[in-house]
Structure 1
Amino acid sequence: FPKTMLFDYEKDFHMMNNIADEKPEIVKKGVELLEVWHKNMMQDKSTKIDPMETVLKEGGPFHTRGIIKYYLNRLKESGRGDMVKDILDRKELYD
């Protein structure tokens, strides 16, 4: 995968067209928001858990929650079946 990806979810529901290079201002703003969020989360003295661990415990990436079987089928149907094994080998919880 490219290091940075950006999709227009309303026009490209299946996230097939990476528009990160076309919209650098949105990418920059997104990175800034993530950096602020991460900094704030890591400064929270009530927990020593990395925010990414929290996301994984919540069920992994939002776009696959509860629909991993359909997502994997979509990857296969759209010519990206080679990604399925890598996804299944990850330790995230998807369902």
Structure 2
Amino acid sequence: MKLSTPGKGDGTNPEQMLAAGWSACFIGAMGLAAAKLKVALPADTAVDAEIDLGTTDGGYFLQARLNVSLPGVTREVAEALAHAAHETCPYSKATRGNIDVVINVV
């Protein structure tokens, strides 16, 4: 895999890899939550994870936004699934308390 720094080069950067892994894992966690609630995830379920690399006082930090799309699912159920997934997804657990994370149901 060809790697590059954010915004430079034609390779993948670490933030993109984190976003891809987190998105896939989060969808899996929503699937488990949906099974418990006896609802089906739509075929076009999507999680668009945006990872920002910021700087402060000469150091670096990450922050994330997970934009969850569950077409055809009521907002109440979609928010419940996203919340449950955020509690159980290993990526969410690993980052909890370490970086700012915003979950948006879109």
Superposition TM-score, scaled by structure 2 size:
0.29
Greater fraction strand: 2
Greater fraction helix: 1
